[in-house]
A and B are shown apart, each in its own frame.
Chain A
Amino acid sequence: MNDYLEVRNLSKSFEGFQLHDITFTLPKGYIMGLIGPNGSGKTTTIKLILNMLKRTSGEVKILGFDNIAKEQEAKRNLGVVFDSNYFSDEWKVSQVEKSVSAFYENWNTQKFSEILERFHIQPSKKVKELSKGMQMKLMLACAFSYDAKLLILDEPTSGLDPVSRDELLHILSEYIEDGEHSVLFSTHITGDLERAADYITYISYGELFFSGGKDEFIDSFRIVKGGREELSADLSKKMLGIRNFSTGFEALVKTEDLKQFAHLNVEPAAIDDIVVFTSKRGERYE
């Protein structure tokens, strides 16, 4: 099996929001960043993948298993980390292992102890006594202890300090090193993805904007800068988003349209630029 996660035409309707026709695949051995502004549908997509929400239509396969018909099989090798801890605050770290390990045949107690030691988590501490970063590491330690093949992280870096964020990205990079593990990583801190992700899936207001290689994504867009007098109506139409200043403007354009902007100052676009300029639902960012 080459694709660890297959999402096809996934849709979900809520009152006032619709996730529409989301399709992407995550191959074995890679990290995919799931990006989009707040409220764009990242968490909804993840909850649909985990069958925590009922989909309106579409199909999801986790490690080759349908996420509803073969839910147990699909979740057996799946690790999930949310933005906040999902263990009882009153549990000691050792109790977390006792409570969770029974559900996983592959659980390796020795490995769990080693990971705790590496993460500097004391088994005698209560979950509520751990910092947010430590709680996140505890969720990771559990997933690593049963050798979860696919790791899904929903906004794991929100609320973490830069050191903890850096550490998490390092852990994830190590995790996929053997080519047998994959990570789907939802975040709005796109700087994290510049470093760690191989693939990007960008959801904007419930619609799939892009899914593919990170380099291809970044390379598809450019930032053009110029003076106000250089901005014509024709050029403006080709811009995906524009920011005006008193002295000039900067805009996001498609690389394929770059010829028309050859007279302007062209710079590479960062993921953040692409998200900010394109997340205005077609409105100009002025």
Chain B
Amino acid sequence: MSESLISARGLTKKFGDLVAVDGIDFDVSKGESFGLLGPNGAGKSTVMRMIGATSQRDAGVLTILGKDPDKHGPQIRAHLGVVPQQDNLDTELSVVENLYIYGRYFGLPRAFVKSKVEELVAFAQLEEKRNAKVQSLSGGMKRRLTIARALVSEPEILMLDEPTTGLDPQARHILWDRLFRLKEQGVTLVITTHFMDEAEQLCDRLIVMDKGKIMAEGSPSSLIKDYSTKEVLEVRFGSDRNQEVADSLRAMCQRIEELPDRFLMYTEDGESLLEKIYASGLHPKTSLVRRSSLEDVFLRLTGRTLIE
């Protein structure tokens, strides 16, 4: 068993009557890439803030590198690099100044920070923008700068809250590439996301959260194996006909999910199920056979889709 960097037992956070995090248990090991997957409002960001020692828990035990965040906030934050959901770069400063001053906030000596800044400008691929003010950067560049900024103190744990929300596909892939490199260097990543592809790409292990509770835990592939079938057949009959065919489809497949615009049919072999549907005289307008994803796991666990 590898060393546990973060350990939560019965972790609870309330905001008035709302229980945002409802007595959850989890551990994050060294070098691991750990994900929190769930829809908006599931309590992911609250968990992140409690780990980041910027939010106090209401009950339970939380230790980060053996310390209690309620007692040793500054010491714990010194171990962490935080990439918040909403960019909070210093808009009055340039790219290099942002990196430099952030290192200084950790109390690091000037010479150390200066050499670190050069390394990070290269890492974030912002050499050409080094003296530009933050406002002139694109969304993807700002995100990369925020990640680079979080690395200035050489943290052991990098906390990423929805790192690619709002980015175009190309910018997302560049960012994922940067995060892979960090993982290779042994940085522990804690990532929240509501994108299943992101969770599948980046996370070794994840917890699926909904309404402040953990619904399931495991690696992306084991979760898919445990909570879904190998393949999924998606069929559309058009909104007016969906109701008529529902019963006949149900008879053909063990598990079926009815979404507003389509049916998801869970099966080991999508093609042969589709043939069966045609053979029964039904003709879907469109059909698609795909592999199960974490989206299907979430649907199974909660009866809802991740992005609503």
**Chains A and B bind each other:** no
